Structure formats: C-alpha cells, structure tokens
Amino acid sequence: MGNHEHDLQETVQEMVNAMSAKGWRITDQRKSLAMLFAEAEGYLSPKDVYESMRQKYPGVSFDTVYRNLRLLSEMGVLEQFYLNDGLKFRARCQSHHHHHMICVQCEKTVTFEYCPMKFVPQLPDDFQIMNHRFEIFGYCSDCAKLPHEAHS
C-alpha cells in the first residue's frame, strides 16, 4: 500500500470516525462521500459532490447531499470556503492547526503555520472561542502573471 493510499484510508477513517462519534449510521453513501473528499485534490462544490454521488446512487437528492455537507462541516470533518463561484468544501487537514492562502483564480491552496489569532486585539472577554479560521485570498505566483480584468 503506497503512502498516498495509506493517507486516503486514514482520511476516510477519520471522517467515518467523526460521523459515528456523532451517532451517525455509517451508510455506504456516507462512506462514498468520505472517499470522494479523501480523493479530491482541491475543493468540491455541492454540485460537484451531487454529480459524483448521483452516478453511484441515482436516487440521491441534491438536498440530501447539501444537508450532509453542511452537517459534516459543522462537525469539523469538512472545511467550507466561500470562493469566487460560491461555497466549496474540502476534507479538513486533520494533522495540526494551520491556515490557508487561497488563489482566487485557480483555487490552489497554500497552508501556513503562523497563527495570527493571539495577536488579534480587543476581543470581548466573555466570548468563549472554540475554533477559528484565517484565510487569505489572492493570486498565486502562476496566476499573478495572467491578466485579471477578464476574470473578475
């Protein structure tokens, strides 16, 4: 089993574990969903996920797919991002805490370890923070060379 294969299995396992920890029945459909995200290179829109799931489960509705995506992101299995063309999801990087720079053109994502959270001034004391995300949007070095007027 190659390293990539091992990572895939691990990601699927983590997603499945998170679901069962929440008391979800682990159906084939949910396993397929986990597999889809484990295999995905980048971000998937709800429509991408729906199109893919529909091939295997012709009866599945867009609403069901969308609801599952929302629930999975609420439980921290998926991360959701608002990119140029709408909401996208991807498997959460489980390994450790980090943040992302995202190219608004090609959606290439660069992670960085520095966490600015401890330098955010004047947050209300009485707010109990459970989690946070920090995303920087811009153009990667490849896309920065291209003319942008046409794309905005």
Name the binding residues for Zn(2+). 103, 106, 140, 143
Give how far the C-alpha of residue 30 lies from the chain's centroid of Cα atoms, to the nearest Å: 16
- Cα(21)–Cα(12) distance, integer angstroms: 14
Which residues, other chains included, contact 100 with Cβ-Cβ below 8 Å and sequence gap of 6+?
109, 110, 111, 112, 134, 135, 136
Name the binding residues for Fe cation. 97, 132
Name the binding residues. 97, 103, 106, 132, 140, 143
- Cα(91)–Cα(14) distance, integer angstroms: 10
Give how far the C-alpha of residue 103 lies from the chain's centroid of Cα atoms, to the nearest Å: 15
Asked whether the beta carbons of 71 and 81 are under 8 A apart, the reply is no
Dihedral, CA of residue 130, residue 88, residue 43 and residue 55, to nearest 10: 120
